[in-house]
């Protein structure tokens, strides 16, 4: 390779102007040879635009469908399917006033918020104990909690359904609030261990010397410093529990106690003719709370995602 | 009293007299116990115990409303002869294999694209993560609508462009349905892979590339000998996760095809659900769920040992 370049450099005065340009560009140390504008266009912006287009298209399609009147929805011949000529709120109206959609939203919200707080409480304490109290075997407890994250819900839902039945929790949101922490706690604990690690231990030592108790240290020093970590863990838990499906499908029977993802699929899909407008409106409205929540905290979200992966 | 007896330095340790309860909470073993209790307790009750219970159920003939008795390997013997189970095993492996390759290929490409200096980088990153944030079932319903036999927008586009004369049959015959589900899964998985790998890419020191460029390497060589090896540890973790959660996927398939047409797209998880909850055969459902475990252990060990366990990746030598 190097030889080839030297040879090329020797021939620089020669014939091929394209090659000559390339070689001189390579010789200019800081400038990257391939960084010319048009090439950048083709190799970076074009594929990136394709990715963004494909990744976003289903959402666009969801939105367009949700606001289209049925006459346009099923007639591609006379209307451009990518656009809405006479937007309508019919589907949303139907969803909000003719179905139990608001109840589903409310249930989902309660379940997500309660299980998030429960898991945050449990995992903060656990992460503090593992990372800061440093007892014998603490890293094994940490490892065990991490491994718990690798147990997928698809393996657990049948025995859990039986347990929920025994506990008399079948068909109650309480069942979901208690079960969701099984996948939230491992994740949050893992995240918070990483976060606690970044808080200087010296701060706690100073407090110890000043005669603070461990509980005081946790409450007045470590927790206030860990707020960003707690926010990340909280957002993540909220999103994960909002999106959960299989447990909610298996444990909840009565229509008004279902969560949004389950209810849309089981209550709105009726008969052979699907109400695509209402289905898409339901999906759109069900996505908005998480999307909103996410966009407010996107930096925390990305940092917790990547931080958790890097740990 | 004791405090008064230490006059030389006149320093008084500002420790208050603690009550018995406060003292107990300052005693480390007790504190550790209390701190771990909620998390470990919840996980033991709702994760470890059900895991054991599930394995036990797999060896019984429990149905809904009737506690089962031990039947030994009968459930598994039944599964071995069950064509549907073999179908599900095949599709689970196929689905996981193809989707993982596509997700990581495309995800890595997207991560490399995002690693350039771009305008609006943070907005771009936020947009790209969207498919991963939105509840899977809801985006799956959107895909269901996109794959509609009559009103599929993809069919419309292809016909408008003159590439096809008839609507594409996405989910009504076995093979197209299998591929359609895989594409939906890939669509959902790319953002996670891309953003995690991007984080990995950003930790690679630019000086490595500068040195390599001084040596006159090509772009491919820089990717092959710098980017890729430096990315392997993170790749291994992300891949382990991705494989586990793709293999045990439930939502996408349940939302779009429910295992149909003619049971061709059942994954093990959807088959277990179908037999266990609506079908009421808890024992058999549990056996199907338990039959996922060996595949999961194998996949985890494979991705972990194949990718993460080589010394040079941990930075111990500069190969």
For A51-61, the pLDDT digits (tens) are 999 999 999 98
pLDDT digits (tens, 9 = 90+) for A134-153: 788 888 888 888 888 888 89
Residue-averaged pLDDT of chain A = 81
Which of A110-124, A214-228, B48-62 is least confident? Answer: A214-228
The residues, any chain, with a CB within 8 Å of residue A306's CB and separated by 6 or more, are B195, B196, B198, B199
> Closest chain A residue to B145 measured between Cα atoms?
A276
Distance CA A53, CA B110 (A): 13
Strand partners, B60: B70
Number of H helices, E strands in chain A: 19, 0
Residue at token pair 């289209």? A68
Position A11 scores a pLDDT of: 44
CA nearest A285 in B: which residue? B138
Q: Reduced to 3 states, what is the DSSP secondary structure of residue B63?
A: strand
CB atoms closer than 10 angstroms to residue B160:
11
Question: Is B294 within 8 Å of chain A by CB?
Answer: no
Distance from first CA to last CA of chain B, Å, rounded? 66
Under the banding of pLDDT at 50, 70 and 90, the label for residue A16 is low
* Option in A182, A211, A213 nearest B43 (CB): A182
Q: Given this model, what pLDDT does residue B296 score?
A: 86
Q: How far is A68 from chain B (nearest CA, A)?
A: 14
Which of A261, A302, A254, A257 is CA-nearest to residue A279? A261
Q: Counting every residue, how long is chain A?
A: 311
Structure ipTM over 0.95, yes or no: no
**To the nearest whole angstrom, how far is the Cα of A40 from the nearest Cα of chain B?**
10
Q: Which residues contact B95 (CB under 8 A, 6 or more apart)?
A: B178, B181, B182, B185, B246, B247, B249, B267
Interface of A with B in 258-297 (CB under 8 A): 260-262, 264-265, 276, 279-280, 282-283, 286-287, 290-291, 294-295
pLDDT at A34 over 60: no
Nearest C-alpha in B relative to A125: B35
Contact B133 A155 (CB under 8 A): no
Report the pLDDT value the prediction gives residue B276, as an integer from 0 to 100.
87
Residue A29: is its pLDDT beyond 60? no
* Cα(B133)–Cα(B129) distance, integer angstroms: 7
Q: At residue A289, does pLDDT exceed 90?
A: no
How many residues are present in chain B? 319
Please, where are the H alpha helices in A129-172? 138-149, 153-166
Q: What is the pLDDT of residue B1?
A: 47
Q: Hey, how many other C-beta atoms are within 10 angstroms of the C-beta on B201? A: 17
Question: Going by C-beta distance under 8 Å and a sequence separation of 6 or more, which residues neighbour residue B291?
Answer: B76, B79, B85, B89, B268
Query: Contact, B132 vs B107, CB < 8 A?
Result: no
Neighbouring residues of B44: CB distance < 8 A, sequence distance ≥ 6 = none
- Average confidence (pLDDT) over A283-303: 81
Q: How does pLDDT run along chain B (319 residues), one tens digit per residue?
A: 455 555 555 666 555 666 777 777 778 888 888 888 999 999 999 999 999 999 998 998 888 777 778 888 888 888 888 888 999 999 999 999 999 999 999 999 999 998 888 888 878 888 888 888 888 889 898 998 888 888 888 888 888 888 888 878 888 888 888 899 999 999 999 998 998 888 888 888 889 889 998 988 888 888 888 888 888 888 888 888 888 889 989 989 998 888 878 888 899 999 999 988 888 888 889 999 999 999 888 887 877 776 655 544 444 433 3
pLDDT value of position A13: 42
> Tokens 């398939």 identify what position?
B253
Q: Which residues of B294-317 are buried (b: 16+ CB within 10 A; e: fewer)?
A: ebbeebbeebeeebbeeeebeeee
Q: How confident is the model at residue B9, as a pLDDT?
A: 59
pTM: 0.83
Contacting B residues, span 244-283, partner chain A, CB-CB under 8 Å:
244-245, 248-251, 254-255, 268-269, 272-273, 276-277, 282
End-to-end CA gap in chain A: 38
Residues from chain A contacting residue B136 (CB–CB below 8 Å): 243, 245, 261
Percent of chain A with pLDDT over 90: 17
Judging contacts by C-beta atoms under 8 Å, the chain A residues touching residue B28 are 133, 135, 214
- The 3-state DSSP class for residue B70 equals strand
- What's the burial of B117, exposed, middle or buried (CB within 10 Å: 0-12/13-18/19+)? exposed
Name which residue leads in pLDDT, A41 or B86. B86
What is the rounded CA–CA span in Å between residue A162 and residue B53? Answer: 9
The predicted pLDDT at position A1 comes to 40
**Residues linked to residue B63 through DSSP beta bridges, in sequence order:** B66
Residues on chain B touching A150 (C-beta within 8 angstroms): 240-241, 244, 296, 300
Report in angstroms the alpha-carbon separations of A216 from A109, A222, B247.
33, 9, 45
Does the pLDDT at position A278 exceed 90? no
């Amino acid at each position: 390779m190097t030889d080839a370049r030297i040879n090329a450099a020797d021939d620089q005065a020669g014939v091929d102007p394209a090659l000559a340009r390339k070689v001189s560009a390579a010789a200019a140390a800081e400038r990257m040879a391939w960084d010319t504008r048009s090439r950048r266009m083709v190799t970076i912006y074009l594929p990136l635009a394709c990715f963004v287009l494909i990744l976003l298209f289903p959402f666009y399609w969801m939105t367009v469908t949700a606001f289209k009147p049925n006459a346009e929805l099923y007639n591609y011949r006379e209307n451009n399917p990518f656009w809405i000529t006479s937007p309508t709120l019919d589907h949303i109206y139907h969803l909000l006033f003719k179905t139990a959609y608001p109840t589903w939203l409310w249930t989902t919200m309660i379940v997500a918020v309660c299980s998030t707080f429960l898991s945050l409480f449990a995992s903060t304490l656990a992460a503090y104990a593992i990372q800061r109290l440093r007892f014998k075997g603490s890293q094994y407890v940490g490892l065990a909690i991490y491994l718990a994250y690798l147990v997928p819900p698809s393996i657990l839902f049948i025995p859990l359904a039986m347990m929920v039945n025994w506990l008399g929790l079948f068909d109650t949101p309480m069942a979901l609030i208690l079960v969701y922490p099984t996948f939230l706690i491992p994740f949050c604990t893992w995240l918070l261990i990483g976060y606690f690690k970044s808080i200087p231990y010296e701060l706690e030592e100073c407090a110890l010397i000043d005669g603070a108790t461990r509980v005081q240290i946790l409450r007045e020093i470590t927790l206030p410093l860990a707020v960003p970590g707690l926010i990340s863990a909280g957002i993540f838990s909220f999103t994960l529990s909002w999106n959960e499906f299989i447990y909610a499908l298996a444990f909840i029977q009565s229509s008004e106690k279902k969560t949004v993802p389950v209810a849309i699929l089981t209550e709105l899909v009726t008969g052979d003719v699907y109400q695509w407008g209402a289905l898409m409106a339901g999906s759109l409205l069900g996505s908005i709370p998480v999307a909103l929540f996410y966009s407010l905290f996107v930096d925390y979200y990305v940092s917790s995602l990547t931080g958790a992966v890097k740990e | 009293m004791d405090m008064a007896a230490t006059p030389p330095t006149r320093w008084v340790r500002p420790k208050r007299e603690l009550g018995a309860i406060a003292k107990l909470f300052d005693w480390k073993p007790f504190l550790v116990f209390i701190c771990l209790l909620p998390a470990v307790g919840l996980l033991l009750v709702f994760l470890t115990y059900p895991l054991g219970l599930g394995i036990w159920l797999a060896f019984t003939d429990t149905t809904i409303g009737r506690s089962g008795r031990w039947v030994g390997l009968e459930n598994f013997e039944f599964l071995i002869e069950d064509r549907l189970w073999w179908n599900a095993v095949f599709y689970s492996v196929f689905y996981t294999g193809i989707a993982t390759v596509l997700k990581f290929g495309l995800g890595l490409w997207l991560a490399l694209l995002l690693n350039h200096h771009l305008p609006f980088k943070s907005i771009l990153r936020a947009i790209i993560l969207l498919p991963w944030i939105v509840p899977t079932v809801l985006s799956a319903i959107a895909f269901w609508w996109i794959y509609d036999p009559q009103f599929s927008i993809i069919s419309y586009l292809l016909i408008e462009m003159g590439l096809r004369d008839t609507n594409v049959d996405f989910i009504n015959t076995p093979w197209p349905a299998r591929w359609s589900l895989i594409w939906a899964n890939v669509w959902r998985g790319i953002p996670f892979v891309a953003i995690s790998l991007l984080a990995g890419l950003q930790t690679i020191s630019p000086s490595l590339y500068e040195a390599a460029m001084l040596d006159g390497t090509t772009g491919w060589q820089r990717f092959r000998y710098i980017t890729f090896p430096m990315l392997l540890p993170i790749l291994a973790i992300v891949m382990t996760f991705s494989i586990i959660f793709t293999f045990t996927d439930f939502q996408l398939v349940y939302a779009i095809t429910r295992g149909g047409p003619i049971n061709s797209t059942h994954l093990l998880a959807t088959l277990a659900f179908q037999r266990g909850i609506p079908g009421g055969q808890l024992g058999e459902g549990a056996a199907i769920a338990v039959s996922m475990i060996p595949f999961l252990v194998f996949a985890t060990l494979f991705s972990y040992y194949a990718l993460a366990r080589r010394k040079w990746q941990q930075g111990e030598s500069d190969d």
